[in-house]
Chain A
Amino acid sequence: MSNSQKKNDFRPVGAVVGLGAWAFGFMLFLYLPIVILVLYSFNASKLVMVWSGFSLEWYAKVFDNADIRRAALNSLIVASSATVCATVLATLAALVLVRGGVFRGRGASMTIIALPLMVPEIVTAVALLIVFAGTGLSLGLGNVIIAHTTFCIPFAFLPIRARLEGMETTLEQASADLYGTELATFRYVTLPILMPGILAGAMLAFVISLDDFIITMMVSSAGGTTLPVYIYSMIRQGVTPEINAISTLLLIVSSVLVTLYWLVTRKQGAER
């Protein structure tokens, strides 16, 4: 603490007493609930809140539970399919919007792509439910994949656009000068440079899809339960450490992916 205080000496104006303590307290507020949740997942007791010794029993129960396995598989299918679709669509759109020059409808296109970020989830959920029910479109998991693709597009789009905006066109011009065809230039020059952005976008889309609950709950049909929807039904039925165990696993997956995303984008920032 004192070390960082010393480094701040170059900016002595506007110092506020207790700021470090406040920030530290904030971090406790942010992480303590998660730590408590994880700790209780190792509780031997049947009741979450009564500690009776360390045990991995609940993790064994989670892996033993066929319903959880099916829900996890559904989550994986939905998240991977939605991620691939959303990332491809977002990449194409970003190429046009960043590289395509100025054209009519460019601003409107940006707004439409950002729409899923602005409309409250519950509104999207029931609007989709109405349309799926009204048209009789029922593709099982397909409905969920369509819904997830839609709201994942902006999340995939933002990092890809950021990467494209920071990219010079010199290498592509060089490739064209060397008689590289347009396709070859795209395949061997543009795409490899853009890859970190695409990867980052795909990871965000995957995390968002994996964690979605409200929209999935509304549009999924019987048998199309994903992990968050299953966890919700478990919580409604009563609190057991099994929920802590499955929650911990889900937390680990999300945190690892977000950390990877951070590392990829940080490297990107350093290159520039």
Chain B
Amino acid sequence: MMELTTKPVLRRALGLGPALTIIMLFMVIPVLVMAVYSFLEANPFGGVFWRFSSAGYTQFLFERDLADNLAFSPDYLIIIGRSLFLALVTTALCLVIGFPVAYFIVRQPPQNRNIWVFLITIPFWTNQLVRTFAWIIILGRNGTIELPFRWLGLLPDDQTLGLMYTDFAIVIGLTYAFIPIMVLPIYASLEKLDFRLVEASADLYGSTFESFRRVIIPLTKPGIVAGSILVFIPSIGAFIQPDLLGGGKKLMLGSLVQFQFATARSWPFGAAVAMILLCFVMLCLMWYARTARRAGTNSGMGGHV
């Protein structure tokens, strides 16, 4: 115990040092280097030339035509737009499907709640690639969904419902992958909710709908925001789902980054796309921090009342 008080600085350095060093060396610094790369000139054979260039970012808006002039091209803006749109739709779907489930779990007797939470988490911990592959079997040509149509003779052999390689398939895949992380935070904040407030609302002749709108949803807002962000961030940066279910043609930001590094060999542009992705993440986290702070002050006031 003597030692503990005499050399706390050394102890802290020895204990924290290794973990922080690893994360700094192989996470923080690489991301900073990537930021630098996004301002360099591309080497067509992969890698970069160490010369400043803003081409990585102008490429989002302009394309060099045959005469070497810059011409406006909306292709990449469309990809950003599609990523935002698909991620938002996924988040909304997860929320609409997930909220009632979280509410259902919270209304179970306490000893049963854990098993529900457990059943919802298991798929989340299993391989995403495998779970996305399952949807290829379901949505694909001659897949599980098309099967009954074929049996009934409603779908000729040379035709398909065309479910695969669509935005719809991507959204289903994303929703399936990330919905557990929407349910869990909402469940956590519902569990803390004081149901006497709901009773009070009912006593004051509030309908169930009113109780939801004015009591339950405002008080569980931190959980809703946390869940939405946890779903939105991996959705907007997703690679597996747009690649396998979108057929690699419906690019999203995540698959665009991968494509630039693996196939197109345009590292600075890929780095620039990754930076934009990071900016979206940062905005989300700032929004979350603000909501969490507000919820904190609100509950503080509630304590006084």
Interface residues on A, range: 35 or more
A binding-site residues for B, Cβ under 8 Å: 4, 7-8, 11, 13-16, 19-20, 22-23, 26-27, 29-31, 33-34, 36-37, 40, 47-50, 89-90, 92-93, 95-97, 100-101, 103, 109, 112-113, 115-116, 118-131, 133-134, 146-147, 149-151, 153, 157, 176, 182, 207, 210-211, 213-214, 218, 228, 231-232, 235, 239, 243-244, 247, 250-251, 254-255, 257-259, 262, 266
> Which residue of B12, B121, B135, B257 has the most chain A CB atoms within 10 A of its CB atom?
B12
CB <8 Å contact, B199 and A13: yes
CB <8 Å contact, A130 and B267: yes
Measured between beta carbons, the chain A residues less than 8 angstroms from B129 are 211, 213, 228, 231-232, 235
With A14-B202, A92-B15 as contacts: A119 and B127 at CB distance below 8 Å: no
CB <8 Å contact, B100 and A95: no
CA of A93 to CA of B114, assembled, Å = 29
CB <8 Å contact, B281 and A113: no
CB <8 Å contact, B285 and A95: no
Contact with A along B219-251 (1 / 0, CB 8 A): 000000000000001101101100010000000
Residues of B7-48 at the interface with A, using a CB-CB cut-off of 8 Å, are 8, 11-12, 14-16, 18-20, 22-24, 26-31, 33-34, 37, 46-47
Measured between beta carbons, the chain A residues less than 8 angstroms from B244 are 235
Interface flag for B156 (CB, 8 Å): no
Q: Which 9 A-B pairs have the closest CB atoms?
A: A120-B237, A96-B15, A127-B30, A33-B134, A93-B19, A23-B104, A89-B19, A37-B134, A247-B130
With A26-B97, A146-B26, A150-B22 as contacts: A36 and B137 at CB distance below 8 Å: yes
A249 to chain B minimum Cβ distance, whole angstroms, is: 10
CB <8 Å contact, A126 and B140: no
Instruction: Please tell me which stretch of B65-73, B269-277, B296-304 contacts chain A, meaning at least 4 of its Cβ atoms lie within 8 angstroms of it.
Output: B269-277
Q: Is the interface of B mostly helix, strand, loop or mixed?
A: helix
CB <8 Å contact, A100 and B8: yes
A35 and chain B: residue at smallest CB distance? B134
A31 interface neighbour in B123, B147, B212, Cβ under 8 Å: B123
Interface flag for B159 (CB, 8 Å): no
B109 and chain A: residue at smallest CB distance? A7
A61 to chain B minimum Cβ distance, whole angstroms, is: 17
CB <8 Å contact, A115 and B27: yes
A131 to chain B minimum Cβ distance, whole angstroms, is: 4
A130 interface neighbour in B3, B258, B271, Cβ under 8 Å: B271
Contact with A along B194-218 (1 / 0, CB 8 A): 0100110010000010011000100
CB <8 Å contact, A131 and B30: yes
Measured between beta carbons, the chain B residues less than 8 angstroms from A14 are 107, 195, 198, 202, 208, 211-212, 216
With A11-B195, A34-B123, A93-B16 as contacts: A122 and B239 at CB distance below 8 Å: yes
Interface residues on B, range: 35 or more
CB <8 Å contact, B254 and A13: no
* 28 contacting pairs across A/B (C-beta < 8 A): A13-B211, A14-B211, A16-B100, A19-B100, A20-B104, A23-B105, A26-B97, A33-B135, A33-B138, A36-B137, A49-B142, A89-B18, A92-B16, A115-B28, A118-B233, A119-B27, A119-B278, A123-B34, A133-B46, A134-B47, A149-B26, A182-B4, A211-B125, A235-B133, A247-B134, A250-B127, A251-B126, A262-B121
CB <8 Å contact, A120 and B277: yes
Interface flag for B136 (CB, 8 Å): yes
Interface flag for B189 (CB, 8 Å): no
CA of A101 to CA of B29, assembled, Å = 28
A121 interface neighbour in B22, B31, B237, Cβ under 8 Å: B237
Measured between beta carbons, the chain B residues less than 8 angstroms from A235 are 129, 133, 136, 244
CB <8 Å contact, A127 and B104: no
CB <8 Å contact, A122 and B22: no
Measured between beta carbons, the chain A residues less than 8 angstroms from B46 are 133
CB <8 Å contact, B140 and A49: yes
CB <8 Å contact, B26 and A112: no
Measured between beta carbons, the chain B residues less than 8 angstroms from A33 are 131, 134-135, 137-138, 176
A150 to chain B minimum Cβ distance, whole angstroms, is: 4
CB <8 Å contact, B240 and A213: yes
CB <8 Å contact, B23 and A150: yes
A30 to chain B minimum Cβ distance, whole angstroms, is: 5
> Which residue of A33, A92, A182 has the most chain B CB atoms within 10 A of its CB atom?
A33
CA of A37 to CA of B126, assembled, Å = 13
A50 to chain B minimum Cβ distance, whole angstroms, is: 7
Measured between beta carbons, the chain B residues less than 8 angstroms from A119 are 27, 31, 278, 281
Interface flag for B154 (CB, 8 Å): no
CA of A110 to CA of B125, assembled, Å = 23
CB <8 Å contact, A239 and B140: yes
CB <8 Å contact, B20 and A26: no
B176 and chain A: residue at smallest CB distance? A33
A8 and chain B: residue at smallest CB distance? B107
With A26-B97, A109-B16 as contacts: A123 and B26 at CB distance below 8 Å: no
